[in-house]
Chain A
């Protein structure tokens, strides 16, 4: 329980840092470690996906961006999604139905990332931003309230994607993070190698299945610790009565049992049998 309060605290910090512009600090050089529109009237940090598209359009070799993202990735991996990202927090607020993971759609987020880069490269436009529900929520709506945005087609498209994402979130917990988030896709690549991660002690596991029920991402924590879909929120380790799952900072090789996972689960073969 203590861990969950801590997580709510860091998620609150994420929202506060996302809206740091309220202090009048202005735009800083910092890249936000989550999905948060830099066009938001109160943001003081740069959206990594928005910047990525701009750099692709401008043809800049993205040393700074990729360096920062790799540092973020090696530090927390997708832990940012579970512990910090404000849009992830919005997802959390709607995660009532922790349905089991629909594997087939899982690689979609990588396609979204590739599509975003491809559209920026070939069409020289920031197409992801025009569809991004985080931008709908934190830029389109505030500017509409301020009278800068008009109820025209781009506004309606934003409202459409926001509504669709919200509906998705209520039907499937962490819908956006599971299937569509390109920022999640980038951080997912570092999930296995990051210093923050889940450890799994198979000897202690009684296969009771409580962790499965607790996981908001709908994965099987026993076989998929630190896989691309694990956001390291720690709900499973809190739920585990045996202490078989643990969350914390360590060298990635020192977490004990860490089965080899491709970015998505390949077959049922390397799945640990559930307690049923």
Chain B
């Protein structure tokens, strides 16, 4: 009976699901979207042992490529003659032999190697996986370019499956489909393209909507199922009509719509005041606007800002008079959603008929295009020339790893710190990282740190403080969400990301409503004062009573862990606190000469900064190493709380006569430790130069 049911189930599954067979396809035949590139960080060593058998190398950087269950070590080596080569452990035996070395080809600003590895997805057939490794010269990371696109046909429409996370397994998070919905033989599957579909997204062919039911791990087969009708995505390619929308002009308050500008050439510009490339392009836009406005050129700005004040200030400072749509919702802006904007700056140039004609033009190109479109008569509707800029090779993905303890104890009437580690896993600068806490029950407040940046591959431990005033013990344990918001820019494209992490708040171990016995201290103080007016037996009695009070205070202090606290304060020496050296402001700026000197270091180097929460000069030292790592991405920076990881600090030698000294910087390669902040930048530079 059981087998019969199973058989019926299997038949039903495969009967209803529509199976498509997919074959590997050359990505060049599809377009730039069919490949993705992801950064891969390289290290001086690997967690597992890999033997290198080859000529002497000056620089060795290891990395690991995982394709399903197969893992391939790679080694990027630079010889004394400055020859660069890549070794790939094709046979997976843990030895990199001369036969596994690849010369590669020189490209602008770096090198590239192309090869084929064998992907081994779990529970599926192994298959060949073409990959390209791009090395931006001198950097401590490479880009992996690939995606192993596979193509099949369904009712005459092309369907392409791409391994978007380069995991070697199809059907995992980040993988996507490109479907030739309109049947024109060309697939527009850039991230904002109308033929790009995440695996969970339904697509519509004619009247029928379909979505993926299952994908075999090797990507050879895919099963689709019919689903409720979903309207197709509006194409945003040159030659298609720009979707209309209405908005309230930020400055004048007028209700406008894109349709109002029919008969004019319109630049639809998505921007924000926090986006440096957008701000840089403003003067150029203003110039073109002033030149062509009288002839019928209009700009419609769509601001993805949150703060109306910031926007108003920038508009008035820059003297911008064109209409701006502003909702204060950042990326949840309805117009940005309509145009599927995922990066800024993004702009569309529309002709007098409201058709999209160009994308992302700037400067002289934009001026020429505007002049050309103004010269066209409204009757001439057919698009003349279609220009599409190549899609961005790197997919916008979260770049931070947020590590939160699973739970935090909150005590009534007290402040509870929660330490969150944020690691930047990318070679890009995470800017203006902002923390916020959601789903807080009433009575609990959270203090979040101020905005900060995290350099490439850097990390930072931030301190959130929960304070509970009047809380209902019934609500505990309660789950709260930490939301981390930031943006980052790759060359000229900026992305904003919001990541979330969860933690549970539990009522702290100390009994709720447990008030500190302040009266002990008050009585002690009053008793001591009273003794100045007493004599004889009364004084003796007071003396003994005070002794009891003092012992009670001492015992209670020990119970509260204050003896341990005293020991900790004594055991960590913060050099600026006791006046061994100057306390410094938390800002550190490198002089241009020093920045240049740091940037020209060959690297790679790994710096570990030891700090404590109360150390006065540690913020300065942190800011300085962050600056250094910004100046030279080959220098990796790790921040370690010396108090929490005392053993590590001791092992690293960040200890002087039994005291951990903060701030201290360990140069991992040489084991040299730099204490204090005096002349720190110059000392750090010379310490880094000592690395062989």
**B579, A140: Cβ atoms closer than 8 Å:** yes
For residue B659, which residues in chain A have a CB less than 8 angstroms away from its CB? 27, 39, 41
For residue A17, which residues in chain B have a CB less than 8 angstroms away from its CB? none
Q: Per-residue 0/1 for A57-90: is the Cβ within 8 Å of any B Cβ (1 yes, 0 no)?
A: 1101111111110110110000000000000000
Interchain nearest-CB distance for A152 vs B (Å): 6
User: Does A190 interact with chain B (Cβ within 8 Å)?
Assistant: yes
**A61, B567: Cβ atoms closer than 8 Å:** no
Q: Per-residue 0/1 for B516-535: is the Cβ within 8 Å of any A Cβ (1 yes, 0 no)?
A: 10101100100011011111
For residue A261, which residues in chain B have a CB less than 8 angstroms away from its CB? 532
Kindly identify which residue among A37, A51, A70, A153 contacts B566, using a CB–CB cutoff of 8 Å.
Answer: A51
For residue A92, which residues in chain B have a CB less than 8 angstroms away from its CB? none
Q: Do A63 and B658 contact each other (CB < 8 Å), given the known contacts A50-B578, A193-B539?
A: no
Q: How far is the CA of A63 from the CA of B551 in the complex (A)?
A: 10
**A67, B528: Cβ atoms closer than 8 Å:** no
Q: How far is the CA of A64 from the CA of B516 in the complex (A)?
A: 13
Q: How far is the CA of A132 from the CA of B577 in the complex (A)?
A: 12
User: Quick one: which of B216-269 are within 8 Å of A by CB?
Assistant: none
User: Does A116 interact with chain B (Cβ within 8 Å)?
Assistant: no
Q: How far is the CA of A43 from the CA of B566 in the complex (A)?
A: 14
User: Quick one: which of A238-270 are within 8 Å of B by CB?
Assistant: 251-254, 258, 260-263
Interchain nearest-CB distance for B686 vs A (Å): 15
Kindly identify which residue among A139, A150, A192 contacts B532, using a CB–CB cutoff of 8 Å.
Answer: A192
Secondary structure at the B interface, as helix, strand, loop or mixed, is: helix
**B555, A67: Cβ atoms closer than 8 Å:** yes
User: Does A233 interact with chain B (Cβ within 8 Å)?
Assistant: no
User: Does B657 interact with chain A (Cβ within 8 Å)?
Assistant: yes
**A67, B550: Cβ atoms closer than 8 Å:** yes
Kindly identify which residue among B537, B542, B577, B661 contacts A193, using a CB–CB cutoff of 8 Å.
Answer: B542
**B582, A153: Cβ atoms closer than 8 Å:** yes
Closest chain B residue, CB of each to CB of A257? B535
Kindly identify which residue among A63, A195, A262 contacts B562, using a CB–CB cutoff of 8 Å.
Answer: A63
**A27, B582: Cβ atoms closer than 8 Å:** no
**B575, A74: Cβ atoms closer than 8 Å:** no
Kindly identify which residue among A62, A143, A193 contacts B557, using a CB–CB cutoff of 8 Å.
Answer: A62
Closest chain B residue, CB of each to CB of A149? B580
For residue A68, which residues in chain B have a CB less than 8 angstroms away from its CB? 554, 557
User: Does A137 interact with chain B (Cβ within 8 Å)?
Assistant: no
For residue A26, which residues in chain B have a CB less than 8 angstroms away from its CB? 571, 658
Q: How far is the CA of A31 from the CA of B577 in the complex (A)?
A: 19
**A253, B676: Cβ atoms closer than 8 Å:** no
Between A and B, how many residue pairs show CB distances below 8 Å? 195
Q: Per-residue 0/1 for A173-201: is the Cβ within 8 Å of any B Cβ (1 yes, 0 no)?
A: 00000000000000001101111000000
Closest chain A residue, CB of each to CB of B539? A253
Closest chain B residue, CB of each to CB of A157? B579
Closest chain B residue, CB of each to CB of A71? B550
Closest chain B residue, CB of each to CB of A46? B570
Kindly identify which residue among A38, A45, A158, A263 contacts B579, using a CB–CB cutoff of 8 Å.
Answer: A158
**A70, B577: Cβ atoms closer than 8 Å:** no
Closest chain B residue, CB of each to CB of A53? B577
User: Does A154 interact with chain B (Cβ within 8 Å)?
Assistant: yes
User: Does B614 interact with chain A (Cβ within 8 Å)?
Assistant: yes
User: Does A21 interact with chain B (Cβ within 8 Å)?
Assistant: yes
Most buried by B among A64, A252, A261: A64
Q: How far is the CA of A257 from the CA of B535 in the complex (A)?
A: 9
Q: How far is the CA of A29 from the CA of B582 in the complex (A)?
A: 28
**B557, A63: Cβ atoms closer than 8 Å:** yes
**B581, A155: Cβ atoms closer than 8 Å:** yes
Interchain nearest-CB distance for B289 vs A (Å): 51
A–B complex contacts, Cβ < 8 Å, 18 sampled: A27-B567, A37-B578, A39-B578, A46-B567, A51-B566, A67-B550, A67-B552, A67-B554, A67-B556, A67-B557, A139-B578, A143-B580, A149-B575, A150-B679, A154-B580, A251-B540, A252-B540, A253-B534
Q: CB within 8 Å of B: which residues of A?
A: 21, 24, 26-29, 31, 37-39, 41-47, 50-51, 54, 57-58, 60-68, 70-71, 73-74, 125-126, 129-132, 135, 139-140, 143, 146, 148-150, 152-155, 157-158, 189-190, 192-195, 251-254, 258, 260-263
Additional A-B contact list (19), CB under 8 Å, known A62-B562, A158-B579:
A27-B659, A39-B578, A41-B659, A43-B570, A45-B570, A61-B521, A62-B521, A64-B554, A65-B566, A74-B547, A125-B583, A149-B575, A149-B581, A155-B580, A193-B543, A251-B539, A251-B544, A252-B543, A253-B536
